[in-house]
A and B are shown apart, each in its own frame.
Chain A
Amino acid sequence: MNAPDQNQTVRATDLTRQFGERVAVDKVSFELHRGEVLGFLGPNGAGKTTTMQMLTGNLAPSAGQVEICGIDMLDRPTDAKARIGYLPETPPLYRDLTVNEFLQLAGRLHRVPKKELATAVESAKQRCGIGDVGQRLIGALSKGYQQRVGIAQAIIHNPDVVILDEPTVGLDPNQIRDIRALIRELGGAHSVILSTHILPEVEQVCNRVQIIHKGKLVFADSLGGVKAFRGRSLMLGLRNAPPIEAIAAVPGVAQVELARGGMFRVQPAPDTDPTDALVQAAWDGKWNLFQLAPAVSSIEDVFVQLTHREEHA
C-alpha cells in the first residue's frame, strides 16, 4: 500500500456494480478529503444509492475498490465501517426503542467506549436538536424527528466520513436550515457525502459537486467549477430578436437555445470566438443588441444539461 494521504478520507476506484445484465454503476472513481462536503446528484435510478451502498459496505462492488481513510473496504470491512456514519434513504430505526436506547445501541455497535457513551449520546442529540425527545419511543415520533434521529445515529461515533442519503426529506423549513447548518459544521472536521434532489441545498452546503447519470460520473468539480461550466457559452440579449435560425447561422456559432427572460444561450463552435461576428450580425440585422456576456451556470443548468440531453439523444 502506498503511503496514504492523511487528509484523504474516501477513495473510490473504478467502482462498478451490475445487477444481472444491467450496469447500475459503471467505473465511478472519485476522492474525498477532510473538510469537504460533496454533493452527489443524479436523476432517480442513476445509481446514487447503489454507489452509497458500495461505499458503506452494504453492497459488494462487481469491480473496483473502496478505501476509507486508507482502509480497504473489502479487506478490512469492519475497520473501514467504523469510520463511516451512514443514513440510508429510509432511516433504519427500531420503532420500539426509545431515542436514548437506540442511540446507545448505535454508539455501542460503532465501538464508542463505554465511558464516553453517555456524552456521545447527549452531544449527538444536541447537534440534531432532539434533546427533548430522548425518552420517547421512536415509533411515536413525527417524520421530521425520526429523520433527525437517523442523522444522530450516523454521527454518534464521530466518524471520519458521514454519508447522508436525502437527509432533509420530510423536514419543515426551520429544521432543514438546522440540518444544513449541521452538515456545514460536520464538513469542518469530517468529510460529508450528501445525496439530494434539492439543488439549492447543494449550492448552500457543498463545496464539491458530482453528478451521476445512468451509472456514469458525468460531472465532478468544485462549486466554483459549476459556475464556469460551459464557461465559453454566451448569453445574448436582443430587443428585436430574429428567428433562432438566423442566430445559428452566424459564423462560429454551434448551437443556440432560448434561455430564461427571452435571452439566447449561444454555444460557440470549438476553438472559435463568435463574439465579434455576433455583434456584427446584430448590427447588420438591426436585432437591437442590449447584452452579450459569458453565461454563468447554476447547478440546475449543469444538471439539466448533463442528464436531460442524453435522454433525447
Chain B
Amino acid sequence: MIFTLAAKELRALFSSPLAWVVLAFLQVTMAWILVTRLDAYLTVQTQLMQMDTPPGVTEIIVAPIFGAAAVILIMAVPLLSMRLIAEERRNQTMTFLISAPLSMTQIVLGKFVGLYSFLMLSVVLILVMASSMYLGGRLDLGLLGTLSLGLALLIAAFAAVGVFFSSLTAQPVVAATATLATLLGLWLLNMSQASPDSPFLMLALIRRYESFTKGLMDTGDIIFLLVFTAVFLILAIRRLDSDRLGG
C-alpha cells in the first residue's frame, strides 16, 4: 500500500516540470563544482605529492560536491515536498486517500517514500558523476560510502520536515516557505557563535552531516538523524489524525 502511494507520488513528481528543473539544476551545479575542484586539484597536485599523507581525489573533489549538494537540497526539498499533502487538501483529493483502506501512517509514509526515492535519485546521479574520477585515478570507496550514507540520512531528515509542513496547510507555497525557513534556520544554527557544546548546536543538521564528510560514521549522528526524521513523520501523522478528530 505504501509503495502504491509512493509510486503515485513519484509519477506526479515526474509528470510536473518542476522535478525535472530541480534535477537539472542540481546536476549542473554539481558538475560545475566538480570541474572547479578538479581544476584546483590539478594546480596543487605537485605540492600535494610532497606531503607525507596527501589528501586524495575523493577528499578534495568529491567531498565538496556532497557538501554543496546538502546546501542545494535545503532549497530544493521544499519545492518538491510542498505539494505532497497541501495540494491534496486544496484539490479535495485527501478524501480519496482517507476513504481508502489506508491508515494515516500509511498515507504519510507513502508520501515520504515517494519523495525520498526521488531525492535519492539525485544522490545516485552525484555518485555517477563522482565515479567519472575513475577515468584518471582511484576513489576512496570508504569515504564515498560515508558521504552517501550521510547525505541519504540528511535527505531523509529534510524530506520529513517537508512532509510535516505540507501536512499543516492547504497552501503549497506556505508549506514550501515554512520548510525552507526551518531547514535554513537549522543550517544557520551552525554558524552561530555559541560555544561548541551549546544545546542549540545539537540541532544543527549540517554539523551532524560534517562528520560523514570526513569519513566518520558516528552512531550518535546516525541516530540523531533517524530520530529527527521519525519525529517529523510522527508529527505529520498526528496532524492528519487531528484533522479527522478536530474541525
| A positions within 8 Å CB-CB of B | 19, 56-60, 77-79, 81-82, 84, 86, 88, 90, 92-97, 101, 105-106, 108-111, 153
| Minimum CB distance partner of A76 in chain B | B101
13 sample A-B contacts, Cβ–Cβ < 8 Å, listed by A number: A59-B244, A59-B247, A81-B99, A88-B95, A90-B92, A92-B92, A92-B94, A94-B93, A95-B91, A96-B15, A105-B4, A106-B100, A109-B5
Chain B residues near A79 (CB-CB < 8 A) = 101
Chain B residues, Cβ within 8 Å of A110: 100-101
7 closest cross-chain pairs (CB), A and B:
A92-B96, A82-B101, A109-B100, A78-B101, A92-B93, A81-B101, A86-B99
Known: A81-B99, A93-B93, A94-B93. A58 touches B244 (CB 8 A): yes
- Given known contacts A96-B12, A109-B5, A60 and B244 CB-to-CB distance under 8 angstroms: yes
Partner of B4, one of A81, A92, A108: A108
Contact status B5-A57, CB under 8 Å = no
B98 at the interface (CB under 8 A from A): yes
Q: How large is the interface on B (under 10, 10 to 19, 20 to 34, 35 or more residues)?
A: 20 to 34
Distance in angstroms between the alpha carbons of A60 and B247 in the assembled complex? 10
- Cβ of A57: which chain B residues have Cβ within 8 Å of it? 98-99, 244
- Whether the Cβ atoms of B245 and A58 lie closer than 8 Å is no
Apart from A58-B98, A81-B102, A110-B101, 11 more pairs, CB < 8 Å: A58-B244, A60-B245, A79-B101, A88-B92, A92-B92, A96-B12, A96-B15, A96-B16, A106-B96, A106-B100, A109-B101
Q: Are A19 and B8 in contact (CB under 8 A)?
A: no
Please, how many angstroms separate the alpha-carbon atoms of A78 and B102 in the complex? Answer: 6
Residues of B within 8 A of A106 (CB): 96, 100
Among A58, A81, A92, A111, which residue has the most Cβ atoms of chain B within 10 A? A92
B103 touches A56 (CB 8 A): no
Complex interface: chain B residues within 8 A of A111 (CB): 101
Q: In the complex, how many angstroms separate the beta carbon of A204 from the nearest chain B beta carbon?
A: 27
Minimum CB–CB distance from A279 to chain B (whole Å) comes to 57
Contact between chains at B8 and A105 (CB < 8 Å): yes
Which residues from chain B contact A58 at a C-beta distance below 8 Å?
Answer: 95, 98-99, 244
Q: Mark B63-102, 1 if CB is under 8 A from A, else 0.
A: 0000000000000000000000000000111111111111
Contact with A along B1-38 (1 / 0, CB 8 A): 10011001001100110000000000000000000000
A282 to chain B, nearest CB (A): 57
Which residues on A sit within 8 Å (CB–CB) of B102?
A: 78, 81, 109
Give every chain B residue within 8 A of A88 (Cβ-Cβ).
92, 95, 99
B100 touches A81 (CB 8 A): yes
> Quick check: B12 and A92 within 8 Å, CB to CB?
no
Give A203 to B102 CA distance when docked, in angstroms.
Answer: 36
Contacts of B5 in A (CB 8 A): 109
Bound complex: CA A1 to CA B99 (Å):
25
CB distance from B2 to the nearest CB of A (A): 11
B177 to nearest A CB, angstroms? 24
Could you tell me the distance in whole angstroms from the C-beta of A115 to the nearest C-beta in chain B?
A: 16
Instruction: Report the bound CA distance from A111 to B1 in whole Å.
Output: 8
A9 vs chain B, min Cβ distance (A): 16
Complex CA gap A79/B245 in Å reads 19
Q: Are A86 and B95 neighbours in the complex by a CB distance under 8 Å?
A: yes
Taking CB atoms, residues of chain A closer than 8 Å to B103 are 77-78
Produce 1/0 per residue, B152-184, CB < 8 A to A.
000000000000000000000000000000000
Q: How distant is the Cα of A82 from the Cα of B103 in the complex, in angstroms?
A: 11
The docked-state distance in angstroms from the alpha carbon of A56 to that of B101 is 10
**Residues of A contacting B244 with CB < 8 Å?**
57-60
Residues in A with CB closer than 8 Å to B8 are: 105
